[in-house]
């Protein structure tokens, strides 16, 4: 039963968090409104050898 649970969690994580790396521009949730990445950051990150895909998202707490 434990092995089945671990397998299920592993499959869920692979589908929900497919990236090898996630980065956040703010150290705390309270500073996310002021912390912006530079406009050329995505282009520079995509140019790093071995990077297959770069995507940006912005989340706002309601």
Query: What does the alpha-carbon distance between residue 58 and residue 17 come to, in Å, rounded to a whole number?
Result: 16
> Phi, psi at residue 32, to the nearest 5°?
-65, -25
Q: Is the pTM of this model over 0.75?
A: no
| Count of residues in the chain | 62
Residue, of 3 and 34, whose pLDDT is higher: 3
Query: What does the alpha-carbon distance between residue 45 and residue 54 come to, in Å, rounded to a whole number?
Result: 7
- pLDDT at residue 40 greater than cutoff 80: yes
Write down the pLDDT at residue 33.
66
Domain extents for the chain? 22-62
- pLDDT at residue 53 greater than cutoff 70: yes
First to last CA, the chain: 38
Do 37 and 56 meet the contact criterion of CB atoms below 8 Å apart? yes
């Amino acid at each position: 039963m434990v092995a089945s649970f671990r397998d299920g969690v592993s499959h869920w994580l692979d589908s929900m968090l497919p990236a090898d790396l996630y980065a956040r521009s703010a150290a705390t949730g309270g500073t996310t409104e002021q912390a912006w990445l530079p406009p050329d950051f995505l282009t520079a990150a995509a140019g790093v050898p071995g990077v297959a895909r770069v995507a940006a998202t912005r989340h706002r707490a309601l």
